[in-house]
Structure formats: C-alpha cells, structure tokens
Amino acid sequence: MKMMAIDDERPALNFLKETLYQIAPDNEIITFQRPAEYMKFPDKQNFEVAFIDINLGSISGIQVALDLKKHAPQCNIIFVTSYSEFAYAAIKTRPSGYVMKPYTAEDIRNELNNLRYDPNPIIRHHDKLLVHTFGNFEVYDKTDKPVHFSRTISKELFAFLIDQCGYPVTSRDIAAKVLEVTDFDRSSSKKISQYMSDLLKDLKLAGYSDIICKQNRQIYVNKDTVDCDLYNMLSGDAVAINAYHGEYMIEYSWAEFSRSAERLKTIQ
C-alpha cells in the first residue's frame, strides 16, 4: 500500500511517519512538509491512503485533498488536525476519516482498519483498458498510466458511452444528453463526428482500437474490452460493490440520472 503524509510542522510530520511505520512497516510512505512539494510530485495517482494536515499555510489541506481526488479518486483521505472547526468543510470532501491532534497510534490504527475504499486493487486483465467511474471518471492503459485525451469533450463522450453499458446510442442521443442540444441539425452531427473521430484516435494511440463499435449509425462500447468498476459492480463483484459509495462520474451533470437510477441505488 502506498501512503502519503503532509504536515507543515516537521516534528508532527516525523511523529506521523514513525507511527505509520510502526503500524504498517511493509508499506511505502511518502512525506511532504509543504504543499508545493506535493504539487510537484509526479506519481499522485498511485496513493491509496493520505494523511493530510488541514492548516498548511497558503494552501489548505482541504485544497490538497481536492487536488488528490482528481488524480486518485479512490484514495482514502484522512485529515489530521488540531482544529475541530474545520470538520464540516473537510467532511464535504468525503474523506475516509478525521483524526484530532494529539492522537495515539491506536487512533491511526483504527483509521487504517476502517478505510472508505479497499486499498487492494481489483484483480484485472492487464491487456484491458481500466475504467474508473466511481468518483471522477478516469481511464488507464495496461501499464496503469492515464490515457491522454486530445479533447476534454472526447473524454466526456467516452464516459457517456461507458455509462450506457454497451447499449447503442445515436449522434442525436449524444447531442441531446451530452451537448444539451435541443435542435439537432447537420452542424451538430458534424461536431459529434469530429469528436468521435478524435476519441477513436486517442484510444488507438493508447493501443486500443476495438473498444468502440459502430453499426447502422449507432455507437456503443464493447464491454468485453474494458475492465470497468461499474460493470464489475453490476455483475455482482464484491470488491467493486464495496468500493461504491454513491459517487459516480461526479464531474458530469448528465450522470446525475445514473447516480439516482435504481441500478446504482440498489447497490448502495
């Protein structure tokens, strides 16, 4: 398990690091004394647990947590602070836990024993594209590196196709639900064709050219070509079910329907 700890007070950071090594000696622990050090760190997506002091100076621990969630949506964030008045703002980030200073090793142990997200990765076929829909929408290749999308809208279009769970949609459907176009015309059709072309190029460059299928002007995802937490959950996978906590593609307004749909509500 890969953990991070950030605290702008060196003695407090050293104590936290020593406590973590005492409780979990076999885990990798990366420490930061300044938010700027964390911001420059290149491997944020692999953190599974983060202990974050809230009062870090110019950049708050809550801001650090929000940034970390963009890179590692299922990282277990545990706030460590002396200030109880920050509790409400911290809870809005949906952390795994909250520890008040001064704390004991048992307090830290309890947090590690009750993590919000299972730190054990879902076993998957590494030749498949890995798709995370819980929290933010993220896509990783077989080396676990984020897939680069040349357009933000192309990534959103892929998210929409993933959300459809293999059911075919038309350009008109995409225009209405993703672009919120009420008057579908030739211009809208051309835009979507370009976005789709860019998406196909992005996936091909990542080494995946068989994920999106087209047939009779309909578009759909070949579910067998991706390893998706949503699909795993719907198939009854226990690890995926336990990983879902009501957060689903939170950056997309059109996903609100799926978040409130029976297919997800019954799993919560």
Confirm whether 139 is domain-assigned.
yes
Overall pTM > 0.75: no
Instruction: Single out the residue in 89, 113, 137 at which a domain terminates.
Output: 113
- Per-residue pLDDT, 145: 81
Segments forming the whole domain that contains residue 157: 129-265
Q: What is the CATH number of the domain that holds 150?
A: 1.10.10.10
Domain count, the chain: 2
Confirm whether 123 is domain-assigned.
no
Are 84 and 154 part of one and the same domain?
no
More reliable by pLDDT, 168 or 73: 168
Are 134 and 78 part of one and the same domain?
no
Are 157 and 261 part of one and the same domain?
yes
In the sheet that 226-228 helps form, which strands lie side by side, from edge to edge?
A: 138-140, 129-132, 226-228
- Closest to 82 measured CA to CA, from 9, 134, 163: 9
Q: What are phi and psi of 86, to 5 degrees?
A: -85, 0
Instruction: Give yes or no for residue 228 having a pLDDT over 70.
Output: yes
Of all helices (H) and strands (E), which one includes residue 228?
strand 226-228
For the record, the structure tokens of 239 come out as 């690890």
Are 108 and 30 part of one and the same domain?
yes
Compute the distance between CA of residue 175 and CA of residue 173 in angstroms, rounded to an integer: 5
Compute the distance between CA of residue 209 and CA of residue 13 in angstroms, rounded to an integer: 46
Confirm whether 143 is domain-assigned.
yes
Are 109 and 154 part of one and the same domain?
no
**Contact (Cβ atoms closer than 8 angstroms) between residue 24 and residue 33:** no
Among 29-38, 40-49, 76-85, the range scoring the smallest mean pLDDT is 76-85
Among 104-108, 145-149, 157-161, 245-249, the range scoring the smallest mean pLDDT is 245-249
- Per-residue pLDDT, 86: 62
Kindly report, residue by residue over 56-114, the tens digit of the pLDDT: 877 888 899 989 988 888 899 999 887 666 666 666 677 888 888 888 899 998 899 88
Are 133 and 257 part of one and the same domain?
yes
Are 138 and 234 part of one and the same domain?
yes
